[in-house]
A and B are shown apart, each in its own frame.
Chain A
């Protein structure tokens, strides 16, 4: 059915851009925390840019403008002919790029929340940097980052609806074409809303379960 295949596209898009955004977030957070002023500058330019520009604008710039760049480069170098950027890739890149900035802030805050003394303690008992990351930084970072990560993920799922505007056949696009052809737009749009509610509710439950697991051993008031 149309709605189901659209839902599959939406979920793939969300997971793809989540992966990209986590990657960008980790890079961005380490750039912000690094000692070099240049990488600090670049990372904060990135987060300021994203805070200033709506995601749909970036998506359209990437989808229409990116195509122009790729083709100009192709004809300039003669390496490739006419290329069409598909909507899925434009969607993953732009959503991933936008949420990478939010993830940067999430991870930065989470790393800063780990007491410096614990890392020093790790060094003093002779742990290697990789061991420190795996045994001390990572488990606690996940715990501190999870609430904000959950929030970002819920916003990200909802942002995927925008790709229908550049014509990706996702849940929203399928439903609005189907709704128009059978003249029942309300029924179809309502179904889309319910599917989104189910998606967000499920991920809420799932992420809360993970949160509980990572909070084992933390004394709560």
Chain B
């Protein structure tokens, strides 16, 4: 009883404040906050799954590119160049709106469950996109492996695959980690494209609110705060991860400091 009472006065206070003192209608935001949380779930879901798929794709591609096998290097270069040189929005449009142009796509067994759904189209495009970016900086990290480490591995008689697994990739992942945190944040930023193919991600909810009540600030500022919170959490997480993985690179602290 008292709890309900307290809630009501808080609610009334909020309503009064929104009506008389603030340019933002907090009641409207509070009414729709659950939609924003669902939107955040969708944003995170697609971002995370495509980062995982893209990351797994990028490892073999980066290795192939770093070892410069000519028949692999060229096509992979074309793939990364294409995806890195064009906007994600247009790539997503191409897959979601464009593929429907072809009858054989529409009649194939993939159409009904996968290619006609915006969720799957976004997932496919995002995965390929992040795979392209990740391939390139992972390749850079692999090529930067200290020569001595490779020579030492060869001197011990390690076969190439084991050398990759034990020597090259672990240190390359460490070196690529700061660049990867940027890629994750960029991927979160790019996920706003979801709202352009009818999905209700965070921005999608903001746009819906704007379209329905014709109030721009409420929807977009709330969306902005949600994105900022996510970016903050992600960069925090990466800082912890970096401090674990890159411990050996930290300047040594002196005893008295």
Interface residues of A (CB under 8 A from B): 49, 51-58, 60-61, 64-65, 67-68, 154, 158-162, 164-165, 172, 176, 179-180, 183-187, 189-190, 192-193, 196-197, 200-201
User: In the complex, which residues 201-229 of chain B have their Cβ closer than 8 Å to any Cβ of chain A?
Assistant: 203, 206-207, 210, 216-217, 220-221, 223-224, 227-228
Which of B89, B91, B196, B210 has the most chain A CB atoms closer than 10 A to its own CB?
B89
Contact in complex: B97, A53 (CB < 8 Å): no
Q: Can you report 22 A-B residue pairs in the complex whose CB atoms are below 8 A from each other?
A: A49-B228, A51-B185, A52-B227, A52-B232, A53-B224, A56-B203, A57-B192, A57-B220, A61-B216, A61-B217, A64-B220, A65-B217, A68-B217, A159-B87, A161-B90, A162-B87, A162-B89, A165-B89, A165-B196, A185-B100, A189-B94, A196-B87
B contact residues, range:
35 or more
Contact in complex: A53, B228 (CB < 8 Å): yes
A189 to B106, CA, bound (A): 18
Q: Which residue of the partner chain A has the closest CB to B186?
A: A155
Chain A residues near B232 (CB-CB < 8 A): 52
Chain A residues near B101 (CB-CB < 8 A): 183-187
- Option from B85, B98, B189 in Cβ contact (under 8 Å) with A54: B189
Contact in complex: A54, B196 (CB < 8 Å): no
A53 to B203, CA, bound (A): 11
Chain A residues near B88 (CB-CB < 8 A): 158
Chain A CB within 8 A of B120 CB = no
Chain A residues near B108 (CB-CB < 8 A): none
User: In the complex, which residues 161-214 of chain B have their Cβ closer than 8 Å to any Cβ of chain A?
Assistant: 185, 188-193, 195-196, 203, 206-207, 210
Contact in complex: B100, A64 (CB < 8 Å): no
Chain A residues near B188 (CB-CB < 8 A): 54
A189 → B minimal CB distance (Å): 4
B97 → A minimal CB distance (Å): 5
Task: Beyond A54-B189, A186-B101, list 17 extra A-B contacts (CB 8 Å).
Answer: A53-B224, A56-B195, A57-B206, A58-B224, A60-B207, A64-B210, A64-B220, A172-B89, A179-B97, A183-B101, A185-B93, A186-B94, A189-B93, A193-B91, A193-B94, A196-B85, A200-B85
Chain A CB within 8 A of B37 CB = no
Q: Which residue of the partner chain A has the closest CB to B99?
A: A186
Contact in complex: A197, B216 (CB < 8 Å): no
- Option from B97, B185, B210 in Cβ contact (under 8 Å) with A60: B210
A192 → B minimal CB distance (Å): 5
Chain A residues near B217 (CB-CB < 8 A): 61, 65, 68
Chain B residues near A190 (CB-CB < 8 A): 94, 98
B contact patch SS: helix
Q: Which residue of the partner chain B has the closest CB to A60?
A: B220
Q: Which residue of the partner chain A has the closest CB to B207?
A: A60
A154 to B87, CA, bound (A): 10
A194 → B minimal CB distance (Å): 9
Chain A CB within 8 A of B86 CB = yes
A54 to B90, CA, bound (A): 17
Chain A CB within 8 A of B231 CB = yes
A161 to B210, CA, bound (A): 22
Chain A residues near B100 (CB-CB < 8 A): 185
Which of A53, A57, A160 has the most chain B CB atoms closer than 10 A to its own CB?
A57
- Option from B90, B207, B220 in Cβ contact (under 8 Å) with A193: B90
A199 → B minimal CB distance (Å): 9
Contact in complex: A60, B206 (CB < 8 Å): yes
Chain A CB within 8 A of B109 CB = no
Contact in complex: B86, A54 (CB < 8 Å): no
Chain A CB within 8 A of B82 CB = yes
Chain A residues near B91 (CB-CB < 8 A): 193
Q: Which residue of the partner chain B has the closest CB to A183?
A: B101
Contact in complex: B224, A61 (CB < 8 Å): yes
